[in-house]
Structure 1
Amino acid sequence: PRVSSLSSRGVSFLFSAYTGCGSSPQDTKASNVEEASSGSLTNAAEEVVDAFHTALKAGNTEGAMELLADDVLIYEGGGAEKSKAEYASHHLEADIAFLKGIKQSLSARSAKATGDMVLVTSQGVTKGTYKDKAINSTSAETMVLRLIDGQWKIIHIHWSSADIKPIVPTS
């Protein structure tokens, strides 16, 4: 199911932080793009997000890296990787290994476009086993994509998760 929980003002603020400009939803270009946010711009960006996940799950490092901007900023587990090269040399292989032993289900996704950027937020559940440890967690993901030379590239990823605590019945 799709959830549209971000206001246009919030999206414009986020994009302003990444682009260094002060575009507002009242700008003609931003308004026209936001009207099409359920259309081709956001659909194309969401397809890139899905392709990135598919490539990681399949162990296709080249396919995953193709979708990242050279200066991608990735936040995960309290740390930051500040480029595609840094991600490739640090966490890419671990992310691929993690995805091999787990299943992810998407419970909510929202996409908003402004100018040449799209914000895609996703929530879901992750279950499985990684390094002999049972995984049962909720997950949240934020990806910001920019149209670069006619192709959507991921310029920012923020991943977070929290263990799902079992419900203990009270007697």
Structure 2
Amino acid sequence: MLGLSWLLIGLWLAPVPSDTAAVQQTVARFHEALAQGDRATVAQLLLEEVIILEGGRRESKAEYLGHHYGRDVAFLQAMRRSIVWQQVRVAGELAYVSTVSRLQGTFRERSYDLSSAELLVLHRTPDGWRIGAIHWSSRPNR
């Protein structure tokens, strides 16, 4: 019986990943999956009702995975991405991650040096944090 008590105390004292860390891990998995062209993981991390805003347009999950996703993968595979600034906020069942990153590389014989802003809204689900909204914008660095 004493062994079980120590086991329960050990489990109680074991570090539990914070919501912030879990959100950051989900966002990192999403970016890694995009950069590697891992469509299954990207699809898994996006909620069915996700809204993607970019370039003044709105896309559903099906629209994004149907055409825009392939262009994003090709572009990101040609870029080096470095995070300049990131903020994670968790509020109950929702979280948002604001990120500014720098993208540099050559794609289709054209050099790029971009500042990219991203806002992800995540929802806590029984399967972990999932992305419910994305807003992307970018501009050339001068």
With normalisation by structure 1, the TM-score equals 0.71
Match of 1:102 among 66, 72, 79: 79
Structure 2 letter corresponding to 1:61: R
Amino acid at match of 2:57: G
Q: Distance in 1 between matches of 2:56 and 2:106?
A: 22
1:143 equivalent to 2:120? Answer yes
CA-to-partner distance for each residue in 1:151-171, whole Å, 9 max, x for gaps? 211001111111012xxxxxx
Please list every run of 5 or more consecutive structure 2 residues that lacks an aligned counterpart in the other structure.
1-16
Correspondence list, 1:112-127, <5 A: 112-127=89-104
Give the C-alpha shift of residue 84 in structure 1: 1.6
Count of residues in Structure 1 that have an aligned counterpart in Structure 2: 126
Q: Deviations over 1:34-58 (max 9, x none)?
A: xxxxx71111111111100100111
In terms of Rg, which structure is larger?
A: 2
Between stretches 89-98 and 148-157, larger displacement belongs to 148-157
Instruction: Report what 2:44 is aligned to.
Output: 66
Is residue 52 of structure 1 aligned with residue 30 of structure 2? yes
Question: Given the alignment of the two structures, is residue 41 of structure 1 paired with residue 19 of structure 2, yes or no?
Answer: yes
Q: State yes or no: 1:111 paired with 2:88.
A: yes
C-alpha distance in 2, partners of 1:49/1:150? 15
Tell me, which stretches of 5 or more residues in structure 1 are unaligned?
A: 1-38, 166-171
Identical residues among aligned pairs (%)? 36
TM-score by length of 2: 0.85
Once residues 42 and 118 of structure 1 are traced to their aligned partners in structure 2, the CA distance between those partners, rounded to angstroms, is 8
The residue type paired with residue 66 of structure 1 is Q
Match of 2:8 in 1: none
CA offsets per residue over residues 107-157 of structure 1, 9 Å max, x none? 111011111011101111110012221110111110000012242110011
Large movers: runs of 4+ above 2 Å: none
CA distance, structure 2, for counterparts of residue 77 and residue 134 of structure 1 = 20
